[in-house]
Structure formats: structure tokens, C-alpha cells
Amino acid sequence: MSIVAISRTLGSLGDEIGRELARTLSWEFADREIIAQAAQRFGEGLMELEHVTEEKPSLWDRFTDTKRRYLTYVEAIIFEMAARDNVILSGRGASIFLRRVRHALRVRITAPERVRAYRVEHQQELTGEAAFHRVRQNDRERASNVKFLYHVDWDDPLHYDLVLNTERMDVKEGARVLRNALENERVRPTPESRAEVKDLSLVAQAKAALLAHPATRGLHLSLACKQGQLSVSGMVEGEVMRKAAEEILGQIAGVTAVQSEIVVLATGRTPVRV
């Protein structure tokens, strides 16, 4: 089948539409499940990962690499889920991460502010004024976060294959529109596009695995993958680091071989390729 990546605004019915589509297709649906798996896999706090993917970056975030490290963990889980196919991924930057996946249907779901505020007012039992404030604040924070992390405008329709305005659309109708869109030949996977996703997933797993290990966290290595064969290049300051990196990469499930072009820098000597 395919992959659906949803970007949604607060009160847009985006998650509800995604869950309804997953129910009718018997597909997997993931939203907060993405960061839950990332937290469990890489030993990070759930609240910290929630902050990374949903909230406006703080001044501290802008001057440290912590937020981007957490983002790499989230990316690894998104690609792992995408490689399994038949999945609907909501939020967490999925529509941006999967922009190179040929058979991913990237969808933006939104509605006018007044409509979304009305829904939030009744769903969360807020006053009308509080609901408007919450919707506006959420929009500002998410837009700022997406701009900081991915350098894109999340409201730009050119980042998506399909944009839904749910002002006059209920959940079932929205799910029906997406289901019809999945009939398009362009979003049907081929053996080649499935292989591409698996390779992209292995690169994402590799980046995350190196960042998660204290011995290799500070390394700056280039990674690529073709048909399960992982290629790694770059420079490290000692043989121990080279071996640590190669061992970590070789243990990733799905990697059939590691082609290492890591250069060990010897102090006072010409770099030696190993």
C-alpha cells in the first residue's frame, strides 16, 4: 500500500481523520507513539522529546546540539515505521522527513482559526477567548519550531501533496478524501521505492545509534546506504573510535555490510586511511 504523513493544526481534526483512515484501512497510526518509541529506544525522557517536536525552541535550544540530537532519534523511528509500510504518521515532522520518499502521501490538514477555536472550546471546555488564545499560541509555537528545525514554512502548501480545509468537512469525509488520494498511481509503492525507504531508514538508524553512544556522539561521519550496505567515511582521532563506530554500525538490524572509509588521524603524521 503506502505511507501517509499528516501535518495538522490544533483543532483541524487532523489526528481524528488520520485515526479514522487507519481504522478503515487496518493500518498503523502513530502520533505520540513515535516519541514514545524514540524515548524507549534511545534512553531519553518522553517529555524532552515532546518538547523537541511540538514546542517553540528556547534560547538554550538555539545554542546547543541537544534538540537536534533528540530530533535524530525521532527521525530514526519515523523512517523505521515508514519502512514497514501501511502506516499513517501524524505530526513530529513526518511530512518533512519523508519528502524524499516517492510513495509517501504528504497531507496538510487545517481550517480557519475561528473554526478551530470553536472546536477547541468545546473539546477542552474552555472559554471562547481562552480557546482563541490557545489556537494562536499553538500555531506560533509550531511554526517557530518547524522553521528552526527544518528551515521551512509549515504553512507553505508546496510542501504537501494535498491540503485539506476541514471547515465544512467531518472526520469521515476527510478520511474518505485521503483514501481516494491513495488510489493515485504516484503514491503506490514499487520494489524500487520500498528499497529506497529501507536504505533511508538504515541511514537514520545509523545516525541515531552513533549519537546515542557516548564514545561516538561527538563524531562527524558521512553515511550512505545502498541495498542494505552501509558506507561510512570521515575522520576520527584514534583507532578505538574507529572500531567503536564500525562495531555500532555493524550491529544495526538490516545492515548487510559496512564499508568503512574512516580515516584515523595520527598526531604529527599524515592521516592514514584504514
pLDDT of residue 150: 85
Residue 73: inside a domain: yes
Nearest alpha carbon to residue 29 among 9, 42, 14, 44? 14
Is residue 169 located within the same domain as residue 253?
no
Check whether 178 has a pLDDT greater than 50: yes
Q: How far apart are CA 237 and CA 230, in angstroms?
A: 21
Domain-terminating residue out of 181, 211, 235: 181
Is residue 157 located within the same domain as residue 239?
no
Residue 233 phi, psi dihedral angles, 5° rounding: -145, 160
Residue 239: inside a domain: yes
Residue 89: inside a domain: yes
Task: Provide the mean pLDDT of the chain.
Answer: 88
Instruction: Write out the three cell numbers for 22.
Output: 487507519
pLDDT > 90: percent of the chain: 65
pLDDT of residue 56: 61
- For position 9, which CATH number holds? 3.40.50.300
Is residue 215 located within the same domain as residue 122?
no
Confidence of residue 192 (pLDDT cuts 50, 70, 90): very high
Is residue 26 located within the same domain as residue 130?
yes
Residue 186: inside a domain: no
Residue 159: inside a domain: yes
**Type of residue at 10:** L
Check whether 58 has a pLDDT greater than 90: no
Is residue 114 located within the same domain as residue 149?
yes
Check whether 26 has a pLDDT greater than 60: yes
CA distances from 29 to 82, 119, 173 (A): 11, 22, 18
Residue 146: inside a domain: yes
Check whether 269 has a pLDDT greater than 90: no
**Type of residue at 9:** T
pLDDT of residue 53: 67
pLDDT of residue 272: 44
CA distances from 27 to 1, 82, 117 (A): 10, 12, 30
Beta-bridge mates of residue 272? 264
pLDDT of residue 274: 41
Check whether 260 has a pLDDT greater than 70: yes
- For position 253, which CATH number holds? 3.30.1340.30
User: Using CA of residue 171, residue 162, residue 138, residue 92, what is the dihedral sign?
Assistant: positive
Range of the domain at 213: 191-273
Average pLDDT over residues 35-55: 72
pLDDT of residue 64: 61
| Residue range 108-158, pLDDT digits in tens | 999 999 999 999 999 999 999 999 999 999 999 889 888 888 888 989 999
Q: What is the pTM of this model?
A: 0.84
Is residue 43 located within the same domain as residue 143?
yes
Domain-terminating residue out of 129, 146, 181: 181
Domain-terminating residue out of 126, 154, 181: 181
Is residue 85 located within the same domain as residue 217?
no
Is residue 85 located within the same domain as residue 13?
yes
Is residue 210 located within the same domain as residue 143?
no
Is residue 163 located within the same domain as residue 249?
no
Is residue 212 located within the same domain as residue 261?
yes
Is residue 176 located within the same domain as residue 195?
no
* Total structural domains within the chain: 2
Confidence of residue 59 (pLDDT cuts 50, 70, 90): low
| Residue range 28-40, pLDDT digits in tens | 999 888 878 887 7
Residue 216: inside a domain: yes
Average pLDDT over residues 63-87: 84
